[in-house]
């Protein structure tokens, strides 16, 4: 029966209503997910270039986000957060060591992205205390399969610890572990790039040329995960995933027209195509923000101002922004869209280049050419931190942490002459269980003079190591006077013995002690820029975020007593030889019948001799013409005995060898 014409329109509207609701839900979901890509370029004082890639992905965290598909956010990361109840997490793969003396240590890049060699992982869980270790072990296995690395080695209780003062986190729910010897290669970078919406096919990530990255002096890929809370009720409302790649490159010298004298002092000119071998062909279409920044730090800006005063060659640029100047120090191949100046007297400059202003057919290739030789230094942390080993031999030794003052502490002394100034330094040192540290031997030298430790230690937390169970950990909160020039912390240890199954394949190379973490909570590494852009930049927000200054020391290589790994081979060889001789002789004796064989041989020889004698007798009788005389030869009655003296001697010899072997083997 056909429906009346009046009911056709309401029925079609009723059928299309679920589709409209579904499209509305998908539209609101995709609008809440945001992705941004940014690149920060920074000239370094030692003729190198710092390239810092920053990708940020945000997604809401709903009750059904574990099962649904995301539009931009990687689903694997969302499932990790939901399954293991992660509040915050950071994973880094690093090759090389950050040079704090030349590249600086008092800026957000060095504090957040200067990581120790190998793999570093820390995570904060939102679970009861008795479930933290189980969540950590499951997380390490999941990350190991996700990033194709040996992170699952951190599941053992001998490889991770639970610090309380080094990280700003909840008490008791944080776990921290490192793998200093983990090799970093493209197998780790490829899964990291797959988490990006455009991967490395478009946008700023297309600059990541593998040979350019892995021949750099330092590169560190980092993944930072945090839970954002709603400002109203404080409940978890979303996930923020930050992916950063920090690379220090050596550009090719393009100053072909400079003379030989000035070429040794002038900085090498560079461009994106010269350091990465590629140009930016457009932005990622899924990115809300795609920007390239060029940062000139305070030391470089101060030298440019001095050069301006001496040469007076600054001129206004009519085509650029109002506060953009073409200086005599360097020239930029592309005019910046905006210029951000740091607030304060000694300010740094940040040039901004939005990629959306360039067409897809127009490739973006930012270049910088130096006009005059300029020497400057990057801002440093209050102290240079280094670590080394003392002692010799395979029995005992000592670990020493050295702190040397920088120009920042000298400035604090001049500004606080009347008041007594103090600097707080936090130290976190984790040692493996086979390095048996004696914490009562902790000594402190200030300006090469021994001092009483209790006068400078405000707090101290020690967790002694347990053999094959947990590593040793020491946390110190120290208060040093600002006029201090140097300080040395030393502690003695004994080298333990390992079972032969616990030695790695390259045991003769030595065993690694992870880097110590030195933090300065009284100082914040932040750059306060006046943001002129309409859209909020995640990278600028990260640079302006106040966080304590962190420094990592060197990884120590401790030689331990190693056994002779060829001895098992020698023992196996001689044992097999003795057993072969023993069982071979025994089987030979038991299976052979010596007496019967000798009797048969004698009978055969006797029968052959009798037959030959008979033939000769018949032949001589025929020749003489005489009849054949019947001669009866009596059979030999003497037969060899079945048991001979040689057989008895052999059996006794084999039995004696067997008895001696059993006696000495027991």
Closest CA to 653 of 552, 582, 569: 582
On the CB side of 519, CA atoms within 13 Å amount to: 19
Q: What is the DSSP string of 24-46?
A: HHHHHHHHH-EEEEEEEEEE-TT
- CA distances in angstroms from 169 to 172, 214, 437, listed in the order given: 9, 33, 27
**Measured between alpha carbons, how far is 267 from 254 in angstroms, rounded to an integer?**
10
**pLDDT (tens digit, 9 = 90+) per residue, 161-194?**
999 887 765 566 899 999 999 999 899 999 999 9
**pLDDT (tens digit, 9 = 90+) per residue, 358-383?**
876 678 999 999 988 888 999 899 99
Q: What is the DSSP string of 102-116?
A: HH-SSSHHHHHH---
**pLDDT (tens digit, 9 = 90+) per residue, 51-110?**
999 999 998 876 555 556 778 999 899 889 989 999 999 999 999 999 999 999 999 999
**pLDDT (tens digit, 9 = 90+) per residue, 552-583?**
999 999 998 888 888 888 888 988 998 898 88
Asked if 273 contacts 259 with a C-beta cutoff of 8 angstroms, the reply is: no
Looking up tokens 């038991």 gives 590
Asked if 54 contacts 539 with a C-beta cutoff of 8 angstroms, the reply is: yes
Q: What is the DSSP string of 312-381?
A: ---EE-SSS-TT-EE-SSEEESS--SEEEEBSSSS--EEEEEEGGGS-TTS-B--EEEESS---------
Given this model, what pLDDT does residue 13 score?
44
| Number of Cβ within a 10 Å radius of residue 111 | 22
Query: What are the tokens at 22?
Result: 């579904």
591 CB-near residues (< 8 Å, 6+ apart): none
What is the separation of C-alpha 361 from the centre of its chain, rounded to a whole number of angstroms?
39
Closest CA to 243 of 187, 294, 295, 196: 196
Look at residue 509 and give its three-state secondary structure.
helix
| pLDDT at residue 648 is higher than 80 | no
For Cα atoms 99, 218, 50, give the angle at the middle one, nearest 5 degrees. Answer: 80
Query: H-type helices in 114-251, by residue range?
Result: 132-147, 186-194, 210-214
Burial of 425 (0-12, 13-18, 19+ CB in 10 A): buried
Interval 530-540 mean pLDDT: 71
**Measured between alpha carbons, how far is 97 from 114 in angstroms, rounded to an integer?**
8
| pLDDT at residue 347 is higher than 60 | yes
**pLDDT (tens digit, 9 = 90+) per residue, 497-524?**
888 888 888 888 889 999 999 999 988 8
pLDDT band at 436 (very low <50, low <70, confident <90, very high): very high
Q: What is the DSSP string of 545-596?
A: S--EEEEE-PPEEE------TTHHHHHHHHHHHHHHHHHHHHHHHHH--HHH
Asked if 390 contacts 400 with a C-beta cutoff of 8 angstroms, the reply is: yes
Given this model, what pLDDT does residue 590 score?
76
Given this model, what pLDDT does residue 393 score?
82
Kind of pairing between the strands at 289-296 and 34-43 = parallel
CA-based Rg of the chain, rounded to a whole angstrom? 40
H-helix or E-strand containing 609? helix 594-624
| pLDDT at residue 28 is higher than 90 | no
Closest CA to 543 of 199, 42, 30: 42
Query: What are the tokens at 591?
Result: 């299976």
Q: What is the DSSP letter of 272?
A: H
**Measured between alpha carbons, how far is 544 from 497 in angstroms, rounded to an integer?**
49
**pLDDT (tens digit, 9 = 90+) per residue, 272-302?**
999 999 999 888 999 999 999 999 998 898 8
| pLDDT at residue 632 is higher than 60 | no
Phi, psi of 41 (to 5 degrees): -110, 140
| pLDDT at residue 255 is higher than 70 | no
Query: What are the tokens at 136?
Result: 């950590």
Report which of residues 238 and 465 the model is more confident about: 465
Interval 639-649 mean pLDDT: 59
Average pLDDT, the chain: 82
Given this model, what pLDDT does residue 71 score?
86
- Report percent pLDDT > 70 for the chain: 79
Assigned CATH class of 383-499+507-558: mainly beta
- Report percent pLDDT > 90 for the chain: 47
Kind of pairing between the strands at 315-316 and 289-296 = unpaired
- CA distances in angstroms from 166 to 99, 227, 518, 523, 633, listed in the order given: 21, 20, 8, 14, 111
User: Which of the residue ranges 14-23, 255-264, 277-286, 427-436 would you say has the lowest mean pLDDT?
Assistant: 255-264
Q: What is the DSSP string of 420-440?
A: --EEEEEEEEEE-TTEEEEEE
User: Which of the residue ranges 130-139, 229-238, 465-474 would you say has the lowest mean pLDDT?
Assistant: 229-238
Given this model, what pLDDT does residue 526 score?
85
Domain extents for the chain?
36-370, 383-499+507-558, 567-592+643-666
**Measured between alpha carbons, how far is 371 from 267 in angstroms, rounded to an integer?**
9
Sign, CA dihedral 163-168-173-179, equals negative
Look at residue 403 and give its three-state secondary structure.
strand
Kind of pairing between the strands at 511-513 and 517-524 = unpaired
**Measured between alpha carbons, how far is 232 from 237 in angstroms, rounded to an integer?**
11
| pLDDT at residue 17 is higher than 70 | no
| pLDDT at residue 303 is higher than 60 | yes
Interval 635-664 mean pLDDT: 67
């Amino acid at each position: 029966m056909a429906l009346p014409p009046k009911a056709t329109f309401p029925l079609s509207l009723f059928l299309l209503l679920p589709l409209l609701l579904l499209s509305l839900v998908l539209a609101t979901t995709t609008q809440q997910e945001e992705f941004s890509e940014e690149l920060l370029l920074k000239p370094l004082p030692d003729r190198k270039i710092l390239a810092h890639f920053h990708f940020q992905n945000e997604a809401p965290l709903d009750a059904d986000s574990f099962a649904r598909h995301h539009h931009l956010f990687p689903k694997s990361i969302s499932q990790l957060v939901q399954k293991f109840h992660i509040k915050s997490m950071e994973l880094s793969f690093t090759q090389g060591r950050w040079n704090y003396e030349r590249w600086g240590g008092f800026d957000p890049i060095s504090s957040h992205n200067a990581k120790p060699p190998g793999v570093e992982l820390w995570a904060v869980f939102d679970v009861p205390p008795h479930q933290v270790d189980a969540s950590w072990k499951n997380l390490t296995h999941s990350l190991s399969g996700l990033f194709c690395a040996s992170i699952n080695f951190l599941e053992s209780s001998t490889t991770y610890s639970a610090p309380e003062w080094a990280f700003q986190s909840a008490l008791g729910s944080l776990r921290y572990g490192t793998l200093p010897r983990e090799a970093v290669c493209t197998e780790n970078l490829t899964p990291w790039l797959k988490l990006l919406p455009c991967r490395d096919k478009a946008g700023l990530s297309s600059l990541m040329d593998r040979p350019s990255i892995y021949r750099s002096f330092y590169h560190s890929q980092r993944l930072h995960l945090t839970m954002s809370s709603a400002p109203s009720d404080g409940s978890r409302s979303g996930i923020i995933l930050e992916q950063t790649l920090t690379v220090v490159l050596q550009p090719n010298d393009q100053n072909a027209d400079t003379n030989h004298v000035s070429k040794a002092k002038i900085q090498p000119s560079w461009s994106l195509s010269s350091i990465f071998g590629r140009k930016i062909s457009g932005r990622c279409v899924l990115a809300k923000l795609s920007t390239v920044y060029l940062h000139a730090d305070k030391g470089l800006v101060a030298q440019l101002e001095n050069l301006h005063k001496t040469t007076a060659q600054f001129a206004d640029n009519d085509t650029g922004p109002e506060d953009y100047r073409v200086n005599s120090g360097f020239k930029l191949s592309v005019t910046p869209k905006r210029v951000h100046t740091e607030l304060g007297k000694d300010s740094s400059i940040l040039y901004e280049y939005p990629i959306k202003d360039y067409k897809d057919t127009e490739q973006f290739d930012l270049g910088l050419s130096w006009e005059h030789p300029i020497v400057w230094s990057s801002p440093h942390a209050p102290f240079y931190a280094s670590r080394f080993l003392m002692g010799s031999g395979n029995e005992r030794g000592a670990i020493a942490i050295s702190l040397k003052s920088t120009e920042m502490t000298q400035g604090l002394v001049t500004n606080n002459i009347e008041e007594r100034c103090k600097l707080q330094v936090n130290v976190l040192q984790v040692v493996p269980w086979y390095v048996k540290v004696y914490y009562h031997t902790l000594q402190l030298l200030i300006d090469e003079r021994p001092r009483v430790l209790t006068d400078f230690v405000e707090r101290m937390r020690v967790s002694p190591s347990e053999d094959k169970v947990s590593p040793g950990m020491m946390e110190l909160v120290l208060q040093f006077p600002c006029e201090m020039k140097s300080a040395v912390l030393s502690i003695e240890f004994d080298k333990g013995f390992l079972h032969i199954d616990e030695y790695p394949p390259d045991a003769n190379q030595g065993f690694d002690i992870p880097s110590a973490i030195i933090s300065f909570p009284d100082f914040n590494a932040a750059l306060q820029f006046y943001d002129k852009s309409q859209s909020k930049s995640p990278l600028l927000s990260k640079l302006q975020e106040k966080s304590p200054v962190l420094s990592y020391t060197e990884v120590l290589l401790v030689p331990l007593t190693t056994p002779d790994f060829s001895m098992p081979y020698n023992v196996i060889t001689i044992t097999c030889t003795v057993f072969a001789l023993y069982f071979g002789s025994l089987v030979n004796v038991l299976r052979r019948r010596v007496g019967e064989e000798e009797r048969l041989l004698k009978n055969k020889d006797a029968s052959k001799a009798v037959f030959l004698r008979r033939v000769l007798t018949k032949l001589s009788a025929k020749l003489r013409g005489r009849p054949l005389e019947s001669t009866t030869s009596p059979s030999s009655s003497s037969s060899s005995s079945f048991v001979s003296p040689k057989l008895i001697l052999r059996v006794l010899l084999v039995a004696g060898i067997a008895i001696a072997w059993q006696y000495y083997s027991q």
